[in-house]
Amino acid sequence: MGNKIQKIFPEDLYLSVLPDFVPDEAARWQGRIDPRRPGRYATGFEAMDALVDALHSRGYQTSEQCGAQMGVEGCYLNGFIRIVSGLSFAEWRDRYLLLMACELLDKTKTDVQDIARRVGFASSTAFSRWFQKQTGRQPVEWRNGFRTGARHRRVR
């Protein structure tokens, strides 16, 4: 019958936000790593690559802000993301930024305020509210749970 379109979710494109990230040998051999964009997949899909780059460079932003950075209107970006993923821009962005935040909390000792800035929030309070809405835990609770070996609650 008809071709099924594979949806593209944040988890499919996320590798790392860490500056010292080294991809495994399989990913390098498969040509999935873009050497010009460390820690990111080479999707061959320019719009998705531009979106990931925009989120990595500026973090939390509206579809209008991100669209302007990419050279398109926010409503078109939102529609595009809905078509390729089935998610709204805000849902896609939040899932991607949550991957960034969790990696920084899990694998570094970076201060929560610095992580908030890295993910694009003006204050650690706004970041903490957003993070708790996404995970049900405060960033410090998430970090302590990871470092003590406790299991994280599944991300919604």
Q: Are 130 and 137 in contact (CB under 8 A)?
A: no
Interaxial angle between packed helices 124-135 and 112-119, expressed in degrees from 0 to 180 and rounded to the nearest 10: 80
Residue 2 lies in a domain: no
Domain housing 24: 10-147
The predicted model scores a pTM of 0.82
Domain count for the chain, please give it: 1
Residue 129 lies in a domain: yes
Max intra-chain CA distance, the chain? 52
**What CATH number has the domain bearing residue 97?**
1.10.10.60
pLDDT for 91-139, tens place per residue? Answer: 999 999 999 999 999 999 999 999 999 999 999 999 999 999 999 999 9
Residue 152 lies in a domain: no
Residue 5 lies in a domain: no
pLDDT for 39-90, tens place per residue? Answer: 777 777 788 888 888 888 889 999 999 989 888 898 999 999 999 999 999 9
Residue 28 lies in a domain: yes
What is the rounded CA–CA span in Å between residue 15 and residue 72? Answer: 25
Residue 156 lies in a domain: no
Q: Locate 51 and state its tokens.
A: 């979106």
Residue 40 lies in a domain: yes
